[in-house]
Structure 1
């Protein structure tokens, strides 16, 4: 007889936990949707400045960031300096290619660079260095990992002006080693954010 009483109590207990869980999910959902936002906008204690900020939120992320442009370059050849060719059709941001890429617009540039050699000297401590320069300033610098023969992905955000330049230089002791020219091995990618 005690067995059936325990089974029925367990069922009641599980039903009670289920009901509490459902109520908790409903309250959390209401808090993070309508209840939370409407309180912030209609609060009588909010200052006018806070209400103004809440009412000027942009309708789309692109309005906040402005016109974002993305460019991708692949390596076509390399001696000491890499020659780049653009993959984009309309090139109004950076020159079409060559060893020196000329910037055509002022703004913020998210720059990603990866350089991979076809083979490399597998000694301890890499003798290979890759640098991305803008005029006389080093923007990115990295060593080639002797296990992968690659720099991996190097990235940085840099503020550049029109007429600035980008140039990638490889410092390597053995000039016979060449870079891999596949797009996924050696590439330069740029995301442009205009200044407002």
Structure 2
């Protein structure tokens, strides 16, 4: 076989090998990207079917309980009133709801819980002034069970943020006590009780 013909065959084989390699790389890339897109494409294909069934049956959405859907929550914010002059012997802090919802939690020095559910409790108490030698404590109790407890930092005159998630049932009460009772800073940014309610599924 002449040298020229052998050289041409080698070039053809090299070209054919290069083309096959490129095709394989392209197929591998398409396979990998199609695998990543596979789940969303399937979910997109299923979603219209469910929507069409919903419209075909004219089934109303599940009724919400006072505007709360399953998995959704509601946030309540409570602002403190000083009230030291009214009941000096009572160590509880009186709370006024910024966005009241009497069907969920009442306001006052004792907060009555009206619904079963999961509650995220977030509390901060700040004094108007504090003394180095006096130690003040803040407690949040569910009935007689202590949920949150903190000390007033004498540098900031505040507990900082205290938080916890609890499952609470209707009929119980929440109360925040300050010992010893003293004047508190009632500014919303300094003293507040925030509660996020989630319905139990």
Deviation at 1:38, TM superposition (A): 1.1
2:95 pairs, out of 84, 89, 94, with 84
Counterpart in 2 of 1:101? 111
* Structure 2 runs not aligned, ≥5 long: 1-28, 43-49, 51-67, 85-90
* Structure 1 runs not aligned, ≥5 long: 1-26, 43-55, 57-61
Q: Is 2:76–2:100's contact at 8 Å kept on the other side of the alignment?
A: no
Structure 2 distance, partners of 1:68, 1:146, is 36
Counterpart in 2 of 1:36? 36
Which secondary structure state, in structure 2, belongs to the residue aligned with residue 110 of structure 1? strand
- Normalising by structure 1, we get a TM-score of 0.65
2:73 pairs, out of 64, 68, 91, with 68
Q: Is 1:114–1:150's contact at 8 Å kept on the other side of the alignment?
A: yes
Of the two, which has the highest radius of gyration?
Answer: 2
The alignment yields a C-alpha RMSD, in angstroms, of 2.8
Distance of aligned partners of 1:127 and 1:192 in 2 relative to their CA distance in 1, 3 Å threshold: same
Q: Is 1:78–1:179's contact at 8 Å kept on the other side of the alignment?
A: no
Aligned counterparts, 1:94-133, within 5 A: 94-95=105-106, 97-123=107-133, 127-133=135-141
Structure 1 distance, partners of 2:69, 2:95, is 32
What are the Cα deviations for residues 165-185 of structure 1, in whole angstroms up to 9, with x where unaligned?
Answer: 10000112xx5x410011111
Aligned counterparts, 1:185-196, within 5 A: 185-196=190-201
Deviation at 1:78, TM superposition (A): 4.2
* Mapped pair 1:156 → 2:164: yes
